[in-house]
Structure 1
Amino acid sequence: MRIGSGATLVVSGDGRYYSKDAIQIIIKMAAANGVRCIWVGQNGLLSTPAISAVIRERVGADGSKANGAFILTASHNPGGPHEDFGIKYNMENGGPAPEGITDKIFENTKTIKEYLIAEGLPDVDISTIGVTSFAGPEGQFDVDVFDSASDYVKLMKSIFDFQSIQKLLTSPKFTFCYDALHGVAGAYAKRIFVEELGADESSLLNCVPKEDFGGGHPDPNLTYAKELVARMGLSKTKSEQQPPEFGAAADGDADRNMILGKRFFVTPSDSVAIIAANAVQAIPYFSGGLKGVARSMPTSAALDVVAKHLNLKFFEVPTGWKFFGNLMDAGMCSVCGEESFGTGSDHIREKDGIWAVLAWLSILAYKNKDNLGEEKLVSVEDIVRQHWATYGRHYYTRYDYENVDAGGAKELMAHLVKLQSSLDEVNKIIKGIRSDVSNVVNADEFEYKDPVDGSISKHQGIRYLFEDGSRLVFRLSGTGSEGATIRLYVEQYEKDSSKIGRDSQEALAPLVEVARKLSKMQEFTGRSAPTVIT
């Protein structure tokens, strides 16, 4: 029996360069390995969250469900002939393959000596919806090309009150802007925001998917989403146009999101906390209550405070959506998020950028349900500031030092671990840098024991925890194709309502200085400034 015997697999992605070629190769290899059916989104386009939904929800013409998916994406990294390409594998639950599976795949790559491929199979027209059948090695082999958006739109309509969102989006007082950064979110934006919810098509930016993302960097942050940032009044260049009330952006495969108000940026850490705080009232899917909430370790503790206030189960997990998936499969988590612009819920097993936008629009619709005819609507900024007044503010920033020398990056991390052996020495160094920073009371490398399967994940990031609730976190990231990326996370919690309106950079400046000098960032990496600040 061949390894794929009888299976149904999904193959699609964010449309980046080489995706269409890769789809044809995977189809031929699947046929040769006895796979029964391949499902392909029209033109090879399916967002990562939509693929998770397809695995979980879609039923084929023969009654089959998908056994897994190959997702052709390199997430928020650039695409093109000289840029990044990637392949993810997702399991039957719709979530990323766990480490046990990916480790086994990697080990197999070291010993593989041959592979099967049906070279005589003609290319399939993936631009036309329909089923193409072939004679496979174990019987009929089908390629089912289906509409990329219909399953996902149906799911979103089952979660949110589209009628209330439509009232908001068609209100003359409310303006809206969505930037797909030429990623796969563009395949959904017109269907959802324009056709279903009544937004004007002019509110969509860069919503035609392109193989090279229009030459841009499809990462939804203040650095790379330049056009949206300018339109929302957040760039240094002054505009005479009035910014929209609400703006959002997606990354290449549409699982990440950025939320903006008029001249106002919502941090991802605040975003997931605000969604959790308002979900039961504003989103029908959660009307029965939340099972629990979770965040990744580097994400600010804003969600922790909401969980404590609402008496919700709370989990702090390593970076990686599979950890959330375990909690969701066990019925322990409803809403979760990462500071790296990923937010989601248990409707699928991936982060979901459009879901996050619809969640925010639902909250705005709920807050404005009685005053759509008023002169001034409750704004994104109003909602965030009210949240701070209720729960306190977590001043937060992330510094990314991208493509640094891998050797220097490892030396920096080893230096930080070594320092943790003596907190007295650490505090002495800190006081020599800034006397106005409180003492470190705990320092460690974050380790997580999964409450569902008991697995242990070590070396997940280096933490310095301060007496006043401040935190410094250092992590190495390997999502790029060159060098290493050091991520520095800086957080300070402020409960005093008279101090929650301070400028974020001003509030965090002492801790940022401590972090740079304590880590010897410039000495180890040669970098005097980060590549990206979020």
Structure 2
Amino acid sequence: MTDRAGTPAKKSDLIDVEALIHAYYELKPDPSIPEQRVVFGTSGHRGSSPTTSFNDWHIAATTQAIVEYRTAQGITGPLFIGADTHALSAPAMTTALSVLVGNGVEAMVDEYDDWVPTPAVSLAIITWNNDAAHRSAGETADGIVVTPSHNPPTDGGFKYNPPHGGPADSDATSWIATRANEIIADGLRDVKMAEPSAVQTYDYRGMYVADLANIIDFDAIKRSGIHIGADPLGGASVNYWGAIRDYYGIDLTVVNETVDPTWEFMTLDWDGKIRMDPSSPSAMASVVKHQSEYDILTGNDADADRHGIVTPDGGLMNPNHYLAVAIEYLYGHRGGWRSDAAIGKTLVSSSMIDRVAKHLGRRLWEVPVGFKWFVPGLIDGSVGFGGEESAGASFLRFDGTAWTTDKDGILLALLASEIRAVTGRSPSQLYAKLVEKFGDPAYERIDAEATPVQKAALGKLDGDAITATELAGEPITAKLSKAPGNDAAVGGLKVVSENAWFAARPSGTEDVYKIYAESFLGEDHLRQVQAEARDIVDGAIS
């Protein structure tokens, strides 16, 4: 961690917006260079224009590939599209709209030319596809979100959401990326473009805000009189928070309404970069200093799919801690959900959730990393809540039907206020009660060096290849290369004992693998788990 972590950004830390946009249009990618190809990760294609990894050609080719994909899938309805506040999002939006219009696709842009959070696009897709008239006509809609999420200001991102409203699965993204790279290699000859003027409009903000009454108890929040602070961190939710306050008449202050593509107002993250991560104590340092001024204080990232929860008594909550509190609260206060609605978590999320699930008598549905895995369960109501350790989650409406099938940071931030209003306690106080019941886990993610060959081996590792029988003094109870919830490959390994576990996954961008580890036996035991995790993994991939 740099010694500047948590300190205000300086002029020397800021991007040159004009140079960034110039590079977007002027630099042309060479698909024979791996770093310049279209590559979809768990949240779409991301890159930066100066490194020729996110440029006009990338977006033109990717949008054309999406058009061809949706045609092959028989998707004939509109395409909902929105963008966040990153500097590269506006030019990428323009490129995408030119291709959509050129191909005759009905593109739905924001009615007020506003930024659009990821959950608002997901909700728009689901709402349109749930309409009886659209279903009877056999028409379905899909969407695009132009965002690199919480990534630094230099970055751009482009994400496709198919008709289920959530992140596209690997079958779709692999096809789209492959086709996009073919189009680039052929000099964009297959790309059809037109002036992006023939578009339709949609009131993303108005529809989203009004619909929140079907998932959050605003009456309780208003009656309680609690004082809420919401910091959009310069992101797409900036105009949504004021609209929520006005529509529901709650005591809410938008802490910072500044939108600046350099994010000059941010404090630096752990590595000295500007990063709009609402779960990072360093990135949230300027927000946390106001914790005593509000009953609940929250933050969101640039596309508002992540949340950060700050309480006056506990400061910024660890995302795992808040997920456990949210789960215990929701499954006790949502009588309209199915009695067998499972609790969804990624396999690198805290085992505190496992213990809460067991206490509630609810089935735990553990899936690989990536919110896409929760989509089927949220759609049919068999999963009431799906959450990731990286501060992303969504859950069902009061009546047990789907809300969003992508992460919704606004929703989880509002839930913290509902929890405070209904229980009279802050989420951090409620987590302390969970610790009294189930123990106090120590959790951390670290990185370990690995060559590309070793990373590839880790991604394909079979749990049965692990010969170790103990983890930090406890017998190993599970060696997982497939997730227990859906039997999908985890792209790595998870090793479990009674009171601890670790998971190892290769990084998609660096020559390291990530080790997630947790122990209910304290910090010293966690360090032992981490050390043995390195030995176990290195022995298996060397």
TM-score range normalised by the length of the shorter chain:
0.7 to 0.9
Do structure 1's residue 71 and structure 2's residue 145 form an aligned pair?
A: yes
Q: Please, which moves more after superposition, 410-419 or 2-11?
A: 410-419
Do structure 1's residue 399 and structure 2's residue 437 form an aligned pair?
A: no
Number of equivalenced pairs: 443
Cα offset, 1:20, TM superposition: 1.9
Secondary structure, counterpart of 1:71 in structure 2:
strand
In 1, distance between residues paired with 2:165 and 2:464?
41
Give the counterpart of 2:527 among 506, 509, 512: 512
Match of 1:129 in 2: none
Secondary structure, counterpart of 2:191 in structure 1:
coil
What are structure 1's unaligned runs of at least 5 residues? 125-141, 233-241, 369-377, 431-436, 495-506, 525-534
Match of 1:527 in 2: none
Q: Which AA in structure 1 matches 2:248? A: E
Match of 1:335 in 2: 385
- Distance change (3 Å), C-alpha of 1:190 and 1:283: farther
In 2, distance between residues paired with 1:253 and 1:19?
11
Match of 1:470 in 2: 500
Give the counterpart of 1:458 among 479, 489, 495: 489
Structure 1 residues 275-354: aligned runs within 5 Å: 275-282=326-333, 286=336, 291-346=341-396, 347-354=403-410
Match of 2:430 in 1: 383
- Distance change (3 Å), C-alpha of 1:117 and 1:307: same
Cα offset, 1:307, TM superposition: 2.1
Q: Which AA in structure 1 matches 2:163? A: E
Secondary structure, counterpart of 1:188 in structure 2:
helix
What are structure 2's unaligned runs of at least 5 residues? 1-66, 267-273, 397-402
Do structure 1's residue 267 and structure 2's residue 326 form an aligned pair?
A: no
Is residue 313–residue 332 contact of structure 1 (8 Å, CA) maintained in 2?
Answer: no
Match of 1:180 in 2: 232
Q: Which AA in structure 2 matches 1:96? A: P
In 2, distance between residues paired with 1:108 and 1:339?
32
Match of 2:277 in 1: 219
In 1, distance between residues paired with 2:474 and 2:160?
44
Is residue 262–residue 380 contact of structure 1 (8 Å, CA) maintained in 2?
Answer: no
In 1, distance between residues paired with 2:355 and 2:532?
30
Q: Which AA in structure 1 matches 2:518? A: E
Match of 1:117 in 2: 192
In 2, distance between residues paired with 1:253 and 1:323?
20
Structure 1 residues 16-415: aligned runs within 5 Å: 16-40=86-110, 42-43=112-113, 45-58=115-128, 67-79=141-153, 83-112=154-183, 113=186, 114-119=189-194, 121=195, 123-124=196-197, 142-168=198-224, 171=225, 174-193=226-245, 196-201=248-253, 204-214=254-264, 216-220=274-278, 221-232=280-291, 242-264=292-314, 265-282=316-333, 286=336, 291-346=341-396, 347-368=403-424, 378-390=425-437, 392-401=438-447, 407=452, 410=455, 413=458
Match of 1:483 in 2: 510
Q: Which AA in structure 2 matches 1:470? A: A
In 1, distance between residues paired with 2:111 and 2:140?
13
In 1, distance between residues paired with 2:93 and 2:460?
44
Cα offset, 1:294, TM superposition: 0.8
Is residue 347–residue 366 contact of structure 2 (8 Å, CA) maintained in 1?
Answer: yes
- Distance change (3 Å), C-alpha of 1:418 and 1:99: closer
Q: Please, which moves more after superposition, 260-269 or 244-253?
A: 260-269
Identity %: 21
In 1, distance between residues paired with 2:416 and 2:130?
33
Cα offset, 1:59, TM superposition: 8.3
In 2, distance between residues paired with 1:290 and 1:352?
23
- Distance change (3 Å), C-alpha of 1:488 and 1:109: same
In 1, distance between residues paired with 2:305 and 2:503?
24
TM-score (norm 1): 0.74
Q: Which AA in structure 1 matches 2:117? A: S
Is residue 7–residue 67 contact of structure 1 (8 Å, CA) maintained in 2?
Answer: yes
In 1, distance between residues paired with 2:511 and 2:376?
28
C-alpha deviations, 1:471-526, integer Å up to 9, x for none?
12222343xxx5356433221236xxxxxxxxxxxx223322441465169x99xx
Q: Which AA in structure 2 matches 1:457? A: A
In 2, distance between residues paired with 1:89 and 1:325?
14
C-alpha deviations, 1:347-401, integer Å up to 9, x for none?
1101111111121211111113xxxxxxxxx3333222223334x1351323344
Match of 2:84 in 1: 14
Secondary structure, counterpart of 1:95 in structure 2:
coil
- Distance change (3 Å), C-alpha of 1:56 and 1:29: same
In 2, distance between residues paired with 1:359 and 1:476?
33
- Distance change (3 Å), C-alpha of 1:330 and 1:520: same
Is residue 444–residue 463 contact of structure 1 (8 Å, CA) maintained in 2?
Answer: yes
Is residue 58–residue 151 contact of structure 1 (8 Å, CA) maintained in 2?
Answer: no
Cα offset, 1:419, TM superposition: 11
